Structure 1
Amino acid sequence: MLLTPDLLFSIANPLALLGWAMLVLAPGWRFTRMLVLSGVWSLGLAAIYAGLITAHYLGAHGGASGFGSLAQVAALFQDPWALLAGWVHYLCFDLFTGAWEVRDAQRRGVPHAALVPALALTFLFGPVGLLGYFGVRRLFGQKPFPQPAIIQTYENPLAR
């Protein structure tokens, strides 16, 4: 079987969607905690991204584009492999952010039903969902974030 950008896209998308489904529908399920809330699912997507970006920069198109200007970024995404890497980058970071939102909401006592719209926005629009989550947390959070029992302070040795 020949790996193509289209084939890898058709694998990466359902993998990310499955992670999102577990966050929304079964946040307390043992497998959601083990795979998605632990970060393992996002790390899998990160590994795919690392492989794609490495192949791109070591491949024939490596020097044809860059991040120094909008025109260079546009040239970067003309290559289907780089475009796929960019998409997997979004899938990875948005899912990681959604998992963080669920963990944080659970610690703060935010009802899951109040969290779901923010998760949907994070899935669809990334940073907009993160903004939405902070609003939800402010409105529905029951507990402050737990603080460490011992807070170490810096002591200047020259002050003696």
Structure 2
Amino acid sequence: MNWEMIFGVANACALLAWVVLALSPKRERVVPYVFFAGTVLLACLYAGLIIPLMAGLISDGGPAGRPSADFTTLAGVMALFDSPGGATIGWIHYLAFDLFVGIWIARNADQHQIARWLQVPILFFTLMAGPIGLLLYLLLRLITGKKQDDALLPS
């Protein structure tokens, strides 16, 4: 399996989706496309790789003799990421979820008339360090005086 190629394609897909999300002038028209061509495609790629990997049907390309990969122990998770396949699949997981959160932030910010120039840096932080971008957006919602319960709950 060419893990480097899969990694590159996933990155390119996600980056294109982020650029469109951040820069599109009429966002409500493009968000469904970003969602399906970005998040859903990445989620399908993730599922199409993690399921056969965990079932032992494909190789992760990692070194022999390491602990078996599993999600129940730190050593198991480290073993999963200690291979080209595991790292690629883990990265696709991040890409899909961060893009999903970015779409939510962009749509919610548009609904609450938060200027695009404030959204773009938050979307950048969401792309680069997902939870920090989300936290910045929630803080912005609190600071801008929007309804507090709206700022804390996804809507």
Letter in structure 1 aligned against 2:7: F
Please say if residues 21 and 27 of structure 2, whose CA atoms lie closer than 8 Å, have aligned partners that are also in contact. no
More helix, by proportion: 2
| Cα 1:30/1:115, change in 2 over 3 Å | closer
Partner of 1:158: none
- Answering whether residue 53 of structure 2 is matched by residue 49 of structure 1, we say no
- Structure 1, unmatched stretches of 5+, are 146-160
* Aligned partner of residue 114 in structure 2, secondary structure: coil
Contact 1:49 1:88 in 2 (8 A): yes
CA deviation vs aligned residue, 1:95-152 (integer Å, no higher than 9, x gap): 000000001111111111111111111111010110001112223366785xxxxxxx
Relative contact order (C-alpha < 8 Å, sep 6+): which is higher?
Answer: 2
Tell me if the contact between 2:31 and 2:103 (Cα under 8 Å) persists in the aligned partners: no
**1:34 counterpart (32, 35, 41):** 32
In structure 2, what residue type is equivalent to 1:47?
C
- Distance in 1 of aligned mates of 2:145 and 2:110: 9
Q: TM-score, normalised by structure 1?
A: 0.79
| Deviation of 1:33 (Å) | 2.4
Take 1:141 and 1:97, find their aligned partners in 2: how far apart are those partners?
Answer: 22
Give the one of 121, 137, 140 matched to 1:136: 140
1:64 alignment partner in structure 2? 68
Structure (1 or 2) with the larger CA radius of gyration: 1
3-state SS of paired residue (1:126): helix
Q: How many residues align?
A: 141
**How many Å separate the matches in 1 of 2:40 and 2:96?**
8
* Matches of 2:75 and 2:29, distance apart in 1: 43
TM-score, scaled relative to structure 2: 0.81
Query: What's the secondary structure of 2:108's corresponding residue?
Result: helix
Paired with 1:70 and 1:24, the residues of 2 have a C-alpha distance of: 36
- Partners in 2 of 1:111 and 1:124 — Cα distance? 21
Mapping of residues 2-151 of structure 1, within 5 Å: 3-26=1-24, 28-29=26-27, 32-36=30-34, 39-40=35-36, 41-59=38-56, 64-140=68-144
What is the identity, as a one-letter code, of the residue corresponding to 1:35? Y
CA RMSD of aligned residues (A): 2.2
In structure 1, C-alpha distance between the alignment counterparts of 2:27 and 2:141, rounded to whole Å: 22
Q: How far did residue 27 of structure 1 move?
A: 5.1
From the superposition, tell whether residues 65 and 74 of structure 1 become closer, same or farther in structure 2 (CA, over 3 Å). Answer: same
Displacement of 1:34: 3.0
Return the offset for 1:30.
6.4
Identity of aligned residues (%): 38
Cα deviation, residue 49, structure 1: 0.2
